[in-house]
Amino acid sequence: MKWVNFIVGILLLTSCETSSIKQFDLSHFHFEYTNPVGQGEIELSYGKAHQQDYLKFEVEKLIDGIKIKAPGINLHLENVPSALQNADELLVDGLEAHMNKGIIDLSLQDYSSTQQNSTQILKELSLRCAGDGQVVDLMDSVISSCIKKMQLGLYRYDNGDNLEILNAKINIVKGKVYMEGDIYSDLNGRFKLDGSVEHLSSEKKLRFKIDKVKFGILNVTGKFFKELEKQQSDKLQVNRPYVTFLL
């Protein structure tokens, strides 16, 4: 979710209304950032006419948002994407995204974010959502589609603080959620999670109901919520069995 708002900002660079976007192809996205400025490039095709753009752009983080500049274009976004909020350095490479009639495919080769000498890493992320995508707003359309049917695969995630997850999978079918992956930390093992998710669009919230979390053969649902409660913030609310993200 960190990069959805950023991608919407890039789409705005083409001077089209996001509400009119029903299909697009984004490819060869590369972005490098060292606080407070970054540079990137992107290829974009959108709309029924398959209008194409190749953009080299610059990003500057400001006190009241971010500024995105491309030849002949100067765009100001009020909200700083969370990916840039506290990062000292950021790299996004090999990002591709395709949307057509509610079917969304996204892949990412490399992502790294460094803050205070701690680096988070994502490698080989793939995502496919195949809902109806009938919602007018672009963000709501993405979320609506993914809640109906989603498959996500992730080769590697490292939080930069003694936690590594390999071979993770998330499947969502009609709001039912199943997640599994290999955890390497103080304890090593396979985790599995069962639950459900709903989009509270009028409240701009994504709410998960967590039914069970297992680590190996052990039920660790209680411990899972205790750890999540330590991470609560303005964007993350925990009230067992619910975990709510503010969008």
Distance CA 247, CA 223 (A): 26
Query: Residue 180 domain-assigned?
Result: no
Mean pLDDT of 186-202: 93
- H or E stretch at 11: helix 4-12
The band of 104, judged by pLDDT with boundaries at 50, 70 and 90, is confident
pLDDT given for residue 134 in this prediction: 58
pLDDT tens by residue, 77-100:
787 777 787 889 999 999 998 888
Question: Is the CB of residue 165 less than 8 Å from the CB of residue 154?
Answer: yes
Q: Is the pLDDT of residue 4 over 70?
A: no
Mean pLDDT of 63-71: 86
Query: Residue 43 domain-assigned?
Result: yes
Question: Is the CB of residue 12 less than 8 Å from the CB of residue 26?
Answer: no
Query: Residue 191 domain-assigned?
Result: no
- The more confidently predicted of residues 41 and 132 is 41
What SS3 state is found at 136?
coil
pLDDT given for residue 206 in this prediction: 93
Domain that residue 51 falls in: 4-174
Mean pLDDT of 167-196: 95
Query: Residue 209 domain-assigned?
Result: no
Mean pLDDT of 156-160: 92
Please report, rounded to a whole number, the percentage of residues in the chain having pLDDT higher than 90.
51
pLDDT given for residue 213 in this prediction: 96
- Residue-wise burial string across 117-146, b where 16 or more C-beta atoms lie within 10 A, e elsewhere: eebbbbbebebbbbbebebeebbbbbbbbb
What SS3 state is found at 48?
coil
What SS3 state is found at 102?
coil
Q: What total of structural domains would you count in the chain? A: 1
Q: Is the pLDDT of residue 225 over 70?
A: yes
Query: Residue 181 domain-assigned?
Result: no
pLDDT tens by residue, 7-28:
545 544 444 444 455 677 889 9
- The more confidently predicted of residues 51 and 20 is 51
Query: Residue 148 domain-assigned?
Result: yes
Chain mean pLDDT for the chain: 85
The band of 39, judged by pLDDT with boundaries at 50, 70 and 90, is very high
Query: Residue 225 domain-assigned?
Result: no
Residues in the chain: 247
Q: Is the pLDDT of residue 226 over 70?
A: yes
pLDDT given for residue 53 in this prediction: 77
pLDDT given for residue 17 in this prediction: 43
Query: Residue 241 domain-assigned?
Result: no
pLDDT given for residue 114 in this prediction: 94
Mean pLDDT of 144-163: 91
Mean pLDDT of 19-40: 84
Name residues whose C-beta falls within 8 Å of residue 179's C-beta, 6 or more positions apart in sequence: 168, 169, 170, 171, 191, 192, 193
